[in-house]
Amino acid sequence: MTQVCRLTRAGGVVQVQDLGRKQSMHHGITESGAADRQAFLWANRLLQQQHDTAMLEITVGDVAFDILHDVRIALTGADLNATLNGSPMDGWQSYNLRCGDTLAFGFPRSGLRAYLAFAGALDWPQIYDSYSWVDKEALPGTPVLKPGGVLRLYQIQPHAFQTAVPTRFVPDYNEPLTLDLLLGYQAHLFPTESIATFFKTEFEVQPASSRMGYQLAGAKVAHEIEQLYSEGIAYGAVQVPPDGNPVVLLNDRQTMGGYPKLGCISQRSGAALSQRLPGAKVRFRGQGYDEMVREWDQMMSFLEVEY
């Protein structure tokens, strides 16, 4: 086991993430995992390692590390103005770092969450076969990475040629976003006019948005549905509270809830939404189940992920 880096500044949020907990929801433990799974998977592909290898998710930025051992890394996701020894770094590629280097992240230029992957396996406690923990759950033994904390790696991999994601596959987190929505079994509870309003409205991401869910504001999606019996909540569920402002539930969502739901957005849409800053504009469009599954399968196949 090798000490690889020390966190020296943490103005933003730094969390260890993988693809989330397995078979935990029925115990009241949320799924968690990397908010932008597409960026997460690309980072591991750049390092040619197991697709679900845990890494750091850095939200907002204002974070710095001292490098304690030669190590190969990959940066994907948001452009948080990363620098290596004060020199700008491009995202969506791998780098060979040396002992004594300083890796720092500024504030968002594009996107919200960056992914820092290491060529090797992180030494970090697990829960439900996952390295992902949720601070608000306050479970016994919840690990927290604070300034002064050191990350360790098992099976550290040697330096190699730098690799980069082709430009055509790098998302633009500043462009207008349209989310693909599969209407669900509760959609019929909403008036036809409200569903029409929902699909033609440009919503704005609200400051209270988080890994738990993205709160949107725009034209009200009116309904007179009394609160339903609580039930399990799927990833990407779009629930509509009494105030008519949709909430898109993501990785750290509550496991049960009783607000009516229009349906669910796709995995790809959820990844893109998780990178939007407050004030960003989003719309919805309908998508069929077969098309949604086919698009996700194609991406997983392209990234050589078996699931």
Nearest CA to 213 among 271, 286, 274? 274
Q: Is the pLDDT of residue 227 over 80?
A: no
Reported as a single tens digit per residue, the pLDDT across 85-94 is 999 999 999 9
* Structure confidence at residue 307 as a pLDDT band (50, 70, 90): low
Separation between Cα atoms, residue 4 and residue 98, nearest integer Å? 10
Q: Is the pLDDT of residue 253 over 90?
A: yes
* Structure confidence at residue 225 as a pLDDT band (50, 70, 90): confident
In the chain, pLDDT over 90 holds for what percent of residues? Answer: 85
Separation between Cα atoms, residue 119 and residue 156, nearest integer Å? 6
Show Cβ contacts of residue 122 under 8 Å, excluding neighbours closer than 6 positions: 16, 53, 54, 55, 131, 151, 152, 153, 154
* Cβ atoms within 10 Å, residue 277: 16
Please tell me what DSSP assigns to residue 169: G
Reported as a single tens digit per residue, the pLDDT across 2-57 is 999 999 999 999 999 999 998 888 888 999 999 999 999 999 999 999 999 999 99
Q: In what order do the strands lie in the sheet with 121-122?
A: 87-88, 83-84, 102-105, 63-67, 2-10, 150-154, 121-122
The pTM assigned to this predicted structure is 0.96
Reported as a single tens digit per residue, the pLDDT across 151-183 is 999 988 877 788 999 999 999 999 999 999 999
Q: Are 48 and 186 in contact (CB under 8 A)?
A: no
Please tell me what DSSP assigns to residue 3: E
